[in-house]
Amino acid sequence: MKTILVYVFYLLVIVAGLFAGGVSALWMSGLLGKSTISSFATVNVNNWTTDPSIGAASADAYTRARIARHGLLALAKEEAIYFARSTDDDGEPLLEACSYELKGGPQEALWWSITLYDNDSRLPMNDDNRLSIDATLVGNTDEWSAIISSDQPDAPFWLSSRSAGQFDLTLRLYQPEPGVIEDSRQRLFAPSVQKVDCEGSP
Protein backbone atom coordinates (compact mmCIF):
# COMPACT_ATOMS: atom_id res chain seq x y z
CA MET A 1 0.00 0.00 0.00
CA LYS A 2 2.81 2.37 0.89
CA THR A 3 4.53 1.63 -2.40
CA ILE A 4 1.40 2.52 -4.35
CA LEU A 5 1.07 5.80 -2.51
CA VAL A 6 4.68 6.65 -3.32
CA TYR A 7 4.09 6.01 -7.01
CA VAL A 8 0.90 8.10 -6.95
CA PHE A 9 2.91 10.88 -5.31
CA TYR A 10 5.55 10.66 -8.07
CA LEU A 11 2.85 10.77 -10.70
CA LEU A 12 1.35 13.89 -9.15
CA VAL A 13 4.79 15.49 -9.05
CA ILE A 14 5.27 14.76 -12.78
CA VAL A 15 1.85 16.19 -13.67
CA ALA A 16 2.55 19.30 -11.59
CA GLY A 17 5.96 19.71 -13.23
CA LEU A 18 4.56 19.36 -16.76
CA PHE A 19 1.78 21.84 -15.99
CA ALA A 20 4.12 24.37 -14.39
CA GLY A 21 6.61 24.00 -17.26
CA GLY A 22 3.90 24.57 -19.85
CA VAL A 23 2.43 27.56 -18.05
CA SER A 24 5.87 29.11 -17.55
CA ALA A 25 6.59 28.77 -21.29
CA LEU A 26 3.34 30.51 -22.19
CA TRP A 27 4.01 33.25 -19.66
CA MET A 28 7.60 33.82 -20.82
CA SER A 29 6.32 34.00 -24.41
CA GLY A 30 3.82 36.67 -23.45
CA LEU A 31 0.86 34.42 -24.19
CA LEU A 32 -0.39 34.68 -20.62
CA GLY A 33 -0.70 37.85 -18.61
CA LYS A 34 -0.93 41.42 -19.81
CA SER A 35 1.85 41.58 -22.35
CA THR A 36 1.67 43.86 -25.39
CA ILE A 37 3.32 43.72 -28.78
CA SER A 38 6.05 45.97 -27.33
CA SER A 39 6.67 43.99 -24.16
CA PHE A 40 9.59 41.94 -25.45
CA ALA A 41 11.01 44.18 -28.16
CA THR A 42 14.77 44.50 -28.45
CA VAL A 43 14.95 47.77 -30.41
CA ASN A 44 13.46 51.01 -29.09
CA VAL A 45 13.51 54.29 -31.00
CA ASN A 46 11.64 57.06 -29.19
CA ASN A 47 9.06 54.57 -27.81
CA TRP A 48 8.66 52.77 -31.16
CA THR A 49 9.81 49.21 -30.56
CA THR A 50 10.52 46.23 -32.73
CA ASP A 51 12.11 42.81 -32.71
CA PRO A 52 14.35 42.23 -35.75
CA SER A 53 13.81 38.48 -35.55
CA ILE A 54 10.12 38.80 -36.49
CA GLY A 55 9.37 36.40 -39.32
CA ALA A 56 12.88 34.96 -39.32
CA ALA A 57 13.63 31.27 -39.10
CA SER A 58 16.38 32.23 -36.64
CA ALA A 59 13.83 33.61 -34.16
CA ASP A 60 14.01 31.87 -30.82
CA ALA A 61 11.10 29.78 -29.59
CA TYR A 62 9.79 32.53 -27.30
CA THR A 63 9.79 35.11 -30.10
CA ARG A 64 8.12 32.68 -32.48
CA ALA A 65 5.35 31.92 -30.01
CA ARG A 66 4.83 35.60 -29.26
CA ILE A 67 4.72 36.62 -32.92
CA ALA A 68 2.35 33.76 -33.69
CA ARG A 69 -0.09 35.44 -31.34
CA HIS A 70 0.56 39.15 -31.98
CA GLY A 71 1.74 39.18 -35.59
CA LEU A 72 0.84 35.98 -37.39
CA LEU A 73 1.99 36.04 -41.05
CA ALA A 74 4.40 38.91 -40.44
CA LEU A 75 7.15 39.32 -43.02
CA ALA A 76 10.88 39.03 -42.40
CA LYS A 77 12.77 42.30 -41.90
CA GLU A 78 14.22 42.34 -45.41
CA GLU A 79 10.71 42.89 -46.79
CA ALA A 80 8.97 44.75 -43.97
CA ILE A 81 9.80 46.20 -40.58
CA TYR A 82 7.14 46.53 -37.93
CA PHE A 83 7.49 49.07 -35.13
CA ALA A 84 4.87 49.35 -32.40
CA ARG A 85 4.16 51.71 -29.54
CA SER A 86 1.54 51.60 -26.82
CA THR A 87 2.38 54.85 -24.98
CA ASP A 88 2.45 58.57 -25.75
CA ASP A 89 5.58 60.72 -25.54
CA ASP A 90 5.11 61.02 -21.76
CA GLY A 91 5.02 57.24 -21.36
CA GLU A 92 1.28 57.12 -20.61
CA PRO A 93 -0.92 54.39 -22.18
CA LEU A 94 -2.78 55.39 -25.34
CA LEU A 95 -6.48 55.70 -24.52
CA GLU A 96 -9.66 56.16 -26.52
CA ALA A 97 -10.73 58.82 -24.01
CA CYS A 98 -7.82 61.06 -25.03
CA SER A 99 -6.81 62.75 -28.27
CA TYR A 100 -3.25 62.91 -29.56
CA GLU A 101 -1.23 64.69 -32.21
CA LEU A 102 0.82 62.26 -34.28
CA LYS A 103 3.69 63.93 -36.14
CA GLY A 104 6.05 62.23 -38.56
CA GLY A 105 7.97 62.54 -41.79
CA PRO A 106 9.45 60.61 -44.69
CA GLN A 107 10.77 57.09 -44.22
CA GLU A 108 13.54 55.20 -45.99
CA ALA A 109 11.17 52.66 -47.51
CA LEU A 110 9.08 52.07 -50.61
CA TRP A 111 5.91 52.57 -48.59
CA TRP A 112 4.92 53.03 -44.95
CA SER A 113 1.74 53.06 -42.90
CA ILE A 114 0.63 53.60 -39.31
CA THR A 115 -2.35 51.56 -38.10
CA LEU A 116 -4.28 51.66 -34.84
CA TYR A 117 -5.12 48.39 -33.02
CA ASP A 118 -7.02 47.68 -29.85
CA ASN A 119 -5.65 45.75 -26.88
CA ASP A 120 -6.49 42.44 -28.55
CA SER A 121 -4.38 43.26 -31.63
CA ARG A 122 -7.58 43.83 -33.64
CA LEU A 123 -8.80 46.78 -35.64
CA PRO A 124 -11.28 48.53 -33.32
CA MET A 125 -14.89 47.90 -34.23
CA ASN A 126 -15.93 51.20 -35.73
CA ASP A 127 -17.02 52.21 -39.21
CA ASP A 128 -15.07 55.46 -39.48
CA ASN A 129 -12.75 54.05 -42.18
CA ARG A 130 -9.88 55.98 -40.56
CA LEU A 131 -7.77 53.27 -38.94
CA SER A 132 -4.53 54.00 -40.73
CA ILE A 133 -2.57 56.68 -42.51
CA ASP A 134 0.04 55.85 -45.09
CA ALA A 135 2.55 57.25 -47.52
CA THR A 136 0.04 57.32 -50.36
CA LEU A 137 -2.15 59.63 -48.24
CA VAL A 138 0.37 62.05 -46.73
CA GLY A 139 3.31 61.58 -49.10
CA ASN A 140 6.82 60.42 -48.33
CA THR A 141 8.79 63.64 -48.73
CA ASP A 142 7.58 66.12 -46.12
CA GLU A 143 6.73 66.21 -42.45
CA TRP A 144 3.06 65.68 -41.62
CA SER A 145 0.72 65.57 -38.63
CA ALA A 146 -2.51 63.73 -37.86
CA ILE A 147 -4.96 63.66 -34.99
CA ILE A 148 -5.81 60.46 -33.10
CA SER A 149 -9.22 60.78 -31.45
CA SER A 150 -12.56 59.05 -31.07
CA ASP A 151 -14.46 61.91 -32.76
CA GLN A 152 -13.64 63.39 -36.14
CA PRO A 153 -11.41 66.43 -35.63
CA ASP A 154 -11.05 69.53 -37.76
CA ALA A 155 -7.80 68.30 -39.27
CA PRO A 156 -6.78 66.90 -42.67
CA PHE A 157 -5.58 63.55 -41.35
CA TRP A 158 -7.37 61.52 -38.70
CA LEU A 159 -6.87 58.15 -37.02
CA SER A 160 -10.07 57.03 -35.31
CA SER A 161 -9.72 55.49 -31.84
CA ARG A 162 -13.47 55.05 -31.41
CA SER A 163 -14.23 51.72 -29.66
CA ALA A 164 -10.49 51.06 -29.23
CA GLY A 165 -10.27 51.39 -25.45
CA GLN A 166 -6.56 51.15 -24.67
CA PHE A 167 -4.76 50.89 -27.99
CA ASP A 168 -1.41 50.76 -29.74
CA LEU A 169 0.03 51.86 -33.05
CA THR A 170 1.97 49.83 -35.62
CA LEU A 171 4.35 51.52 -38.06
CA ARG A 172 5.06 49.37 -41.12
CA LEU A 173 7.96 50.04 -43.45
CA TYR A 174 7.69 47.97 -46.63
CA GLN A 175 10.85 47.30 -48.62
CA PRO A 176 12.99 49.35 -46.25
CA GLU A 177 16.39 50.56 -47.39
CA PRO A 178 19.15 48.14 -46.31
CA GLY A 179 20.44 48.89 -42.84
CA VAL A 180 17.41 50.83 -41.62
CA ILE A 181 16.67 48.43 -38.79
CA GLU A 182 20.32 48.04 -37.76
CA ASP A 183 20.73 51.83 -37.66
CA SER A 184 17.15 52.70 -36.79
CA ARG A 185 18.11 55.31 -34.19
CA GLN A 186 19.63 57.41 -36.96
CA ARG A 187 17.51 56.41 -39.92
CA LEU A 188 13.95 55.90 -38.64
CA PHE A 189 11.83 59.06 -38.61
CA ALA A 190 10.07 57.99 -35.39
CA PRO A 191 6.71 59.81 -35.25
CA SER A 192 5.92 61.61 -32.00
CA VAL A 193 2.63 61.08 -30.14
CA GLN A 194 1.74 64.10 -28.02
CA LYS A 195 -1.37 64.05 -25.85
CA VAL A 196 -3.75 66.95 -26.65
CA ASP A 197 -6.47 66.42 -24.08
CA CYS A 198 -8.68 63.80 -22.41
CA GLU A 199 -12.40 63.52 -21.75
CA GLY A 200 -13.22 64.94 -18.36
CA SER A 201 -9.96 66.85 -18.09
CA PRO A 202 -10.25 70.60 -17.40
Partner 1 sequence: MKQLFIATLLLVLSFVIGHITALIAVPSVIMDTAMDRMQERGLKHHQFTLSPRTTPQTQTVVRPSPDLAYSVCLFELSGNDALRIQTGTYDRYTSVSFFDDRTNNFATVRVSSDEGADIVLLAPGRARLGTGVFEGQQIEAPSQRGLILIRRLAPTENDYARVVEASAADRCATLERSSDGEGSA
Q: What is the C-alpha separation between 162 and 173, in angstroms, rounded?
A: 25
Does 69 bind partner 1 (CB under 8 A)? Our answer is: yes
What is the β-pairing status of strands 144-149 and 98-104? antiparallel
62 binds partner 1, rule: CB under 8 A: yes
Phi then psi for 23, rounded to 5 degrees? -65, -40
What lies within 8 Å, CB to CB, of 22 at 6+ separation is none
User: Could you say whether residue 34 binds partner 1 (CB under 8 A)?
Assistant: no
- Figure out which of the listed residues 52, 124, 176, 191 binds partner 1, where binding follows CB under 8 A: 124
Judged by CB under 8 A, the stretch of 7-15, 96-104, 147-155, 182-190 that binds partner 1 is 7-15
**Phi, psi of 7, rounded to the nearest 5 degrees:** -65, -40
187 contacts partner 1 (rule: CB under 8 A):
no
Tell me if 85 contacts partner 1 by CB under 8 A.
Answer: no
- Contact flag: residue 175 with partner 1 (CB under 8 A): yes
Helix (H) or strand (E) holding 6: helix 2-28
Q: Contact between 78 and partner 1 (CB under 8 A)?
A: yes
**Per CB under 8 A, 196 contacts partner 1:** no
Tell me the β-bridge partners of 45: 48
For residue 84, give the 3-state DSSP assignment: strand
* Residues forming the site for partner 1 (CB under 8 A): 6, 9-10, 13-26, 29, 31, 37, 55-57, 59, 61-62, 64-65, 67-76, 78-79, 110-111, 113, 115, 117, 120-127, 129, 131-132, 134, 136-137, 170, 172, 174-175
